[in-house]
Amino acid sequence: MALTPIRRVVTGNDARGKSKVVWDGPSPGVHESAVPCNGAIDCWVWRETPPPLAGDDDSARWDYEFPGPPSGGHLRVMNWLAHASDRSKVPPLVPPHAPKAAPGGRAWNRGGGNDFDRTAMHKTQSVDYGIMLAGERIIELDDCKLVMKPGDIVVQVGAWHLWDSSKMGCLMAFDMIAAQFVDGPAGTAQGNDPVMRARPDQKLPPGVKPQRRIVTIDREAGKSSLVIDGPSPDVRIDPARPGFALQRMWVVDGAPAKIVFETLHLPHTLEPPAQGSVLNVVTFPPDVVWQGKVGAAEVAAWFKAIGSPGASTYSAQAPHPYMQKTRTLDFCIVLEGEIVLVLDTQEVTLKAGEILVQRGTNHAWSNRSGKPAVVAIAAHGAKSK
């Protein structure tokens, strides 16, 4: 059986500098494993940081690399659908063993898996945004096991872990960013940044669900541990759009990424550092709740509040009041609902499980349905050429 196709939309600019869709369809970066229904689909790859925004080369077609290019990273969707009610057909587990380095020396494994419905305990020299799209998966650390369901996000800060899909298969997206291990392959936590937690009285707008944020790290060599498992502690609302919320998850403040306990004390919200990244989960209420009530002042107030006043491209003649443009490579994954991407020259409707690769293009998000839409957006600082 083939891997589950992943619809991927990629934007760019036409000869006039107007935003448009360049590719729209199943991502071509398909890499099947020997196990039926298991494998990876690359949606975008970059080999240098900051990544370029321009170009006619579809990087999803590049050769498979794990854990991604050493000076860049990739967005990949893992199909891990193999499971069996007859456990006698499942291969035996490889016994745990001392860490073994993969070719290239940027990934290690300690056994404990069967490559069918349970991976080996492994570690990569990367910071990963792991986003559950469908199904269910258990992440196993050295100190705990956690069940992840659709919409849950784990930020893996270079930690040992394994994935158990024996109960149910899953689709899971990984934005993997090359990291720096200052202590060699140990890759242990650096610094003592206090972990931010949601306040007990933290309230969300009506219709907005708390976004689960899991962070993992190696506090000591060879042993992974849980840093935090709870709702995002950083929620930004737009008073002009009732039901809107931006929940911040993680910030990478340079290249290669650092192995640290926390990053939400950094100021970056919509726009990441020039060579970094910021991951947000945004809930868009139906446009009908605010249409006709938002103008230049309200839009300017929102972009100023999140520290990006220059991102707004508001115009009374624009197709949407919240049009914006930043020098970023954005990976946008629709987690819930349906939403319309508004560009200068066209519109595209995206549904849950579909992915947008946005290359520094002028755009806005329009929710024309009757329910909230939820989109995870990982913005990476980029360069024009």
Domain ranges of the chain: 7-381
On whether the pTM is more than 0.95, the answer is yes
Q: Quick one: average pLDDT of 316-335?
A: 97
Whether 81 shows a pLDDT value over 90: the answer reads no
Cβ neighbours, 10 Å, residue 237: 18
192, with CB counted inside 10 A (0-12, 13-18, 19+), is: exposed
Which pair of structure tokens corresponds to residue 207? 């219709």
pLDDT, averaged across the chain = 96
Closest CA to 13 of 44, 54, 46, 50: 54
Q: Quick one: average pLDDT of 253-268?
A: 98
At 182-225, the pLDDT tens digits run 999 999 999 999 999 999 999 999 999 999 999 999 999 999 99
Cα(350)–Cα(352) distance, integer angstroms: 7
Topology adopted by domain 7-381: Jelly Rolls (2.60.120)
**Strand (E) or helix (H) holding 302:** helix 296-305
